[in-house]
Chains A and B, each alone.
Chain A
Amino acid sequence: MPAAIETRGLTRCFKRHLAVDSVSMTVPDRAVYGFLGRNGAGKTTTLKMLLGLIRPSEGSALVCGVDIGRDRIGAARKVGALLEAHGFYGNLSGRENLDLTRSLLGLAKSEIDRVLEVVEMTEHARRRVSDYSLGMRQRLGLARAMLGAPPVLVLDEPTNGLDPDGIADMRRFLRALPERTGATVLLSSHLLGEIEQTATHVGILSHGKLVLEGELGRLKADLAPEIALQTDDAARATALARARGFDVLPSDDGLVARLKPGEDARTASASLNRALIEADIAVFAIGARSRSLEGIYREVSPPAPTAATAKPRPEFA
């Protein structure tokens, strides 16, 4: 069985700007693939190429084995998309909006009820879209993407603008989607927490290049764990840990000491704890933990050099 999505050396230039640089990605069948990257990393450009909206400068992309460059319409039959701009007609009801797309796709009327039920929007379907909340529009967008039950769903930032409850709903919904509908989901986002809780696979795009790809669980397991610690003197604790051979980085809630591959986390934690106490540094918390997606992301996706000077916070949540 071919991969749900496969790209080979996908490249796109806008005049002199290389937006997507030889991206070769593989989205396995029935995966929830988190496509990560900062704003401007090239995610949307890649998705647009996958949807046949823009042509690659080089390379190719296949959806369920169909080459988009050779057979855009054949490939488009395999994909449903939720794009950042929903493109709903505000003066029409949710049902009428779905019906327009249904007509264009030549589907049966019953398809509308099916997708409305999947996204739990049946009771709101007769309201005008202009009266919908952003969360309802996102769900209607998902319903529209699922018209005709395409095997692949491409979702561009589906949690954008949602409140915490909406995000939790969307997360639950997306996680269950492959099982409920049999679809493969390609999910673009810059929200690491969301991807970590939703995706089975990830691909990280940085400055147009795919810098990491794989099954999320395996990526995390392959990396050595780290020790999170909170002390009363971060500078001295950092110096001490570094002297003992740890790679130490500041984190939001203290420090993180990276272990070398193969090193036992419990023994290293105990040894570091002992050393800190002997150096008269108060330890508030210390413990080994497995690497987070954020840690992986920071490692493989450094900010652009110009941005690094200004030290902006990456858009994590």
Chain B
Amino acid sequence: MSASPFLAPLFVEARKLNRSLAALLAVAAPSLIAIFLFFMVLRGKAPMPWGMWTMNAAGVWAFFMLPMSVTALTALAAHMEHGPKSWDHLRALPLPRWRLYAAKVVCVLAVVAVMSAAVLAMTWGAVTLAAAIKPRLTPTGPFELALYAGLFGRIYLAAVLMIAIQLWVALRYASFVPALAVGIGGTFFSVVATSAKQGVFFPWQMPVNMLATEAWRVQTALGLGLGLGMVVMVGALAHLSRREVL
């Protein structure tokens, strides 16, 4: 049985990713945050509310681990074709080229979504495990899943622009160096200019702005991250499918 022409590239991409190191990356990044939180809880002297642990996890994720994971994941997804020089074979096939690139976009977005969910799930797991070891540190208050899922969802949506830029660069250049340089550079400026008001317009800081207390920052970063992200994604698809790979 063959998949429909629209879904075939997506299934093919998923099969390639499934046999790559993407799965390891998808587990490793959230695990590191969970391990960090686990020891943070154990170091505590008094119980803290669930909200604080979740915000901690969301902060580390949005601030540093998400940009770095996106850098690594997009480079990995692009290098699956750059490495064995598969582009000529793929681009010579009788199907619209944009579908090949769109399949990569969907897969990367899906993996980042899974990682975001994994961060939340592993946060719960790590804190619960630490509390089981030291019951007196059991977090106070309820674990408000809908609230926290909403926060991680907004972080994810605000990251779309960053993902689009990273994936575009990674697919455009056969060497992984430009993609890594952009990712590391973006994360660096995001870290050193944390408190800059202009950060709300900086793609690598848009996710972390979802933790801001000022509503305009959240709305601006979310609107730009998602809206511009979609525009850049469409632009990237158009550019990549039209350009000649010499």
Q: Which residues of A contact B (CB under 8 A)?
A: 14, 48, 51-55, 73-74, 76-77, 79, 81, 83, 85-92, 96, 100-101, 103-108, 144
Q: A100-B15, A104-B9 are in contact. Are A76 and B93 (CB under 8 A)?
A: yes
Chain A residues with CB under 8 A of B142: none
Check B85 against A103 for contact (C-beta < 8 Å). no
Question: Cβ of B88 and Cβ of A107 under 8 Å apart?
Answer: no
Summarize B's interface: helix, strand, loop or mixed. loop
Contact B246 A103 (CB under 8 A): no
Which chain A residues lie closer than 8 Å to B85 at the CB level?
85-87
Residues on B with C-beta less than 8 A from A52 are 91-92
In the bound assembly, the distance between CA atoms of A81 and B94 in angstroms comes to 12
Question: In the complex, which residue of chain A has the Cβ closest to the Cβ of B5?
Answer: A106
Q: With an 8 A cutoff between CB atoms, is B244 at the interface?
A: yes
Q: How far is the CA of A90 from the CA of B86 in the complex (A)?
A: 11
Q: Closest Cβ of chain B: how far from A80's Cβ, in Å?
A: 9
Question: In the complex, what distance in Å separates the CA atom of A85 from the CA atom of B84?
Answer: 7
A–B Cβ pairs within 8 angstroms, 12 of them: A48-B88, A52-B91, A52-B92, A53-B245, A54-B244, A83-B88, A85-B85, A85-B88, A86-B89, A88-B84, A89-B19, A104-B8
Contact, CB under 8 Å: B19 / A81 = no
A89 touches B86 (CB 8 A): yes
B87 interface residue per 8 A CB criterion: yes
Please measure, in the bound complex, the distance between the C-alpha atom of A96 and the C-alpha atom of B81, giving whole angstroms. Answer: 16
Residue contact A100 to B88, C-beta cutoff 8 Å: no
With A53-B245, A106-B2, A106-B5 as known contacts, state yes or no: A73 contacts B94, CB within 8 Å.
yes
Query: Which listed residue, B8, B84, B90, touches A106 by the CB 8 Å rule?
Result: B8
A87 touches B246 (CB 8 A): no
**Residue in chain A with minimal CB distance to B244:** A54
Closest to B84 in A: A87
Residue interface mask B120-156, A partner, CB < 8 A = 1: 0000000000000000000000000000000000000
Determine the distance from Cα of A55 to Cα of B91 in the docked complex, in whole angstroms: 13
**Given the complex, which residues of B lie within 8 Å of A85, measured CB to CB?**
84-86, 88-89
Q: A55-B244, A103-B8, A106-B5 are in contact. Are A81 and B89 (CB under 8 A)?
A: yes
- Interface set, chain B 1-32, CB cutoff 8 A to A: 2-3, 5, 8-9, 11-12, 15-16, 19-20
Cα distance A88–B88 when bound, in Å? 11
Instruction: Give the residues in chain B near A48, CB-CB below 8 Å.
Output: 88
Chain B residue with minimal CB distance to A79? B92
Contacting residues of chain B (69-86) with chain A, CB-CB under 8 angstroms: 80-81, 84-86
Q: Considering the chains assembled together, what is the distance between the CA atoms of A100 and B19 in angstroms?
A: 13
Contacts of A101 in B (CB 8 A): 89, 93
A89 touches B2 (CB 8 A): no
Question: Per a CB cutoff under 8 Å, which of A51, A77, A90, A103 touches B84?
Answer: A90
For the complex, give the distance between the alpha carbons of A92 and B86 in Å.
14
Question: Which residues of chain B are within 8 angstroms of A77 by Cβ–Cβ distance?
Answer: 94
* Contact status B86-A107, CB under 8 Å: no
Instruction: Please tell me if the beta carbons of B93 and A89 are within 8 angstroms of each other in the complex.
Output: no
A residues within 8 A CB of B87?
87
CB distance from A297 to the nearest CB of B (A): 27
In the complex, the chain A residue whose C-beta lies closest to that of B4 is A106
Q: Could you say which residues of chain A place their CB within 8 Å of the CB of B2? A: 103, 106-108
- B238 interfacial contact with A, CB 8 Å: no
Shortest C-beta distance, A92 to chain B (Å), equals 6
- Report A89 CB to chain B, min CB distance, Å: 6
Query: Smallest CB–CB gap between B79 and chain A, Å?
Result: 11
Other-chain residue from A14, A89, A105 in contact with B94 (beta carbon distance below 8 A): A105
A14 to chain B, nearest CB (A): 8
Contacts of B15 in A (CB 8 A): 96, 100
A90 to B84, CA, bound (A): 8
| Residue from B11, B20, B244 within 8 A of A53 (CB atoms) | B244
* B8–A89 CB distance below 8 A: no
Is there a chain A Cβ closer than 8 Å to B96's Cβ?
Answer: yes
Q: Tell me the bound Cα distance from A101 to B89 in angstroms.
A: 9
The distance in angstroms between the C-alpha atoms of A144 and B20, with both chains bound, is 22
- Output the nearest chain A residue to B11 by Cβ-Cβ distance: A103
Quick check: B95 and A100 within 8 Å, CB to CB?
A: no
Nearest residue in B to A83 (C-beta to C-beta)?
A: B88
User: Contacts of A51 on B, CB cut-off 8 Å?
Assistant: 88, 92
A89 near B84 (CB under 8 angstroms)?
A: yes
Max count, chain B CB within 10 A of own CB: residue among A52, A87, A101, A107: A87
B92 near A86 with CB under 8 A, answer no
A83 touches B89 (CB 8 A): yes
Residue of A with least CB distance to B93:
A104
| Chain A residues, CB < 8 A from B91 | 52-53
Measured CB to CB, the nearest residue on chain A to B86 is: A87
Expressed in whole angstroms, the Cα–Cα distance for A76 and B5 within the complex equals 15
Contact B84 A73 (CB under 8 A): no
Bound CA span A101–B90, Å: 8
Complex: chain A residue closest to B90, CB-CB: A87
A79 proximity list for chain B (CB < 8 A): 92
